[in-house]
Amino acid sequence: MLFNKRTERYFIWVFFPLALLMPLFLAENTFFVSKLTSVMIFALFVMSLDYLVGRCGLITLGHAMFYGLGGYLFWMIAPEYEAVNFWVYTFYICTIAAAVALVIGFLVLRTSGIYMIMITLAFAQMAFYFFSDSIEFGGNDGLFIYVKPETSIFGLSFFDLDNPIHFYYLCLLSLFNTLVFFRVLIRSRFGRVVDAINENPGRTTALGYNIFMYRLMSYVIASALGAYAGYLFTLQYGFVNPSMMAWTTSGSALVMSILGGMGSIYGAILGTFAYEGLHYLLEHLTEYWMLFMGILIIAMVMIFKNGIAGYMEKLLEKRI
């Protein structure tokens, strides 16, 4: 289904100003700020998955591999006791992750449907066990990042990554940029071809497009952004461990994306906040939060067929 642009615009105008103003009121509550930051980082990850699954129709259960890779790559290429430049390393990490995605995508995209779900899972599990079984990479405990990068551009530094509020704004900016990036991408010529491929691969091929290349490019873009989210996660908590790559990470990201409204991109933010919010709430109310979470997820599938974004759009359509 095609999502309504007006609802997306409303959402952007409500969510981002609120998020921008939030630290003014709650700056003292460091726990809350850092919780929101981590949810935003994950929302960025879910957004990249949402593009891949919802827009390109490439269902993957191995996206968390790139999330973890973002963290491990930083540990591998950055010197241990020296602050590096954040922007330069963002570029490095996204580039290397993109190169990895190019190779893996080349193999994975030969399959489709249920087999693609499984082969992406296979690669992710390989990466998971590679890192969790190796001594050099810290095994199951993972690794610590001792020095956080500095963020100067031409000698001007806007963000101090050790300050939770600064880091919050950096993540908010990243999330906003990613959303804008996908909006532009989807409305571009490239995005329209991708939509056409999702709608009908056969006809798009008949029109003379090399659908494999479009899929591969989408896979590379989404994977690089997934790695960026993992890099931010690692910077926030100062460690990286294999559970970032576990299939359950991919699985819950998929749940959030479906919850938000698959393919709507901004729905990724809705889905992640709804899921994490419910999780947090239920976990504090009851020891058996999983029971209610499970029932809620089941109810969501039965009632909201197009996720929260789809439901919001229905509501708005009725009123206007």
Partner 1 sequence: MDTSLFLVQLINGLQYGLLLFLIASGLTLVFGVMGILNLAHGSMYMVGAYLAWYFVEHTGSFALSAIISAVIALIIGVVVERTLIRQLYRRNHLDQVLLTIGMIFVFNALQSLLWGNDPLGVAVPAALSSAVPLTDVLEYPVYRIFVALLCIAIAVVMYFMINKTRLGMLIRAGESNREMVECLGIDIRQLYTIVFAIGVMLAAVAGVVAAPMSSIVPGMGEHILITCFVVVVIGGMGSIKGAFVAALLVGLVDTFASVLVPQMSSMMIYIVMAFILLIKPQGLFSS
Summarize as ranges the residues that interact with partner 1 (CB under 8 A): 53, 59, 107, 110-111, 113-115, 117-119, 121-123, 125-126, 129-130, 132-134, 247-248, 251, 254-255, 258-259, 262, 287-298, 300-302, 305
Q: Pick between residue 93 and residue 259 the one whose CB is nearest to partner 1.
A: 259
Are the C-beta atoms of residues 109 and 116 closer than 8 Å to each other? yes
Q: Pick between residue 16 and residue 292 the one whose CB is nearest to partner 1.
A: 292
CB-based burial, 21-39: b 16+ in 10 Å, e otherwise? eebeeeeeeeeebbebbbb
Least distance from C-beta 149 to partner 1, angstroms? Answer: 32
Q: Pick between residue 29 and residue 134 the one whose CB is nearest to partner 1.
A: 134
Least distance from C-beta 107 to partner 1, angstroms? Answer: 6
Are the C-beta atoms of residues 109 and 62 closer than 8 Å to each other? no
Are the C-beta atoms of residues 257 and 267 closer than 8 Å to each other? yes
Angle formed at CA 48 by CA 45 and CA 53, multiple of 5 degrees? 120
Least distance from C-beta 294 to partner 1, angstroms? Answer: 3
Least distance from C-beta 255 to partner 1, angstroms? Answer: 6
Least distance from C-beta 126 to partner 1, angstroms? Answer: 5
3-state secondary structure 278-302: HHHHHHHHCCCHHHHHHHHHHHHHH
Q: Pick between residue 123 and residue 176 the one whose CB is nearest to partner 1.
A: 123
Q: Pick between residue 88 and residue 301 the one whose CB is nearest to partner 1.
A: 301
CB-based burial, 241-277: b 16+ in 10 Å, e otherwise? bbebbbbebbebbbbbbbbbbbbbbbbbbbbbbbbbe
Least distance from C-beta 279 to partner 1, angstroms? Answer: 10
DSSP 151: -
Beta bridge partners of 150: 85
Backbone phi, psi, residue 162, to 5°? -80, -15
Q: Pick between residue 91 and residue 130 the one whose CB is nearest to partner 1.
A: 130
Q: Please enumerate in sequence order all residues whose Cβ is within 8 A of that of 143, keeping only pairs 6 or more positions apart, or say none.
A: 72, 75, 137, 239, 240, 241
Structure tokens belonging to residue 265: 């991109």
Q: Pick between residue 100 and residue 175 the one whose CB is nearest to partner 1.
A: 100
Least distance from C-beta 122 to partner 1, angstroms? Answer: 4
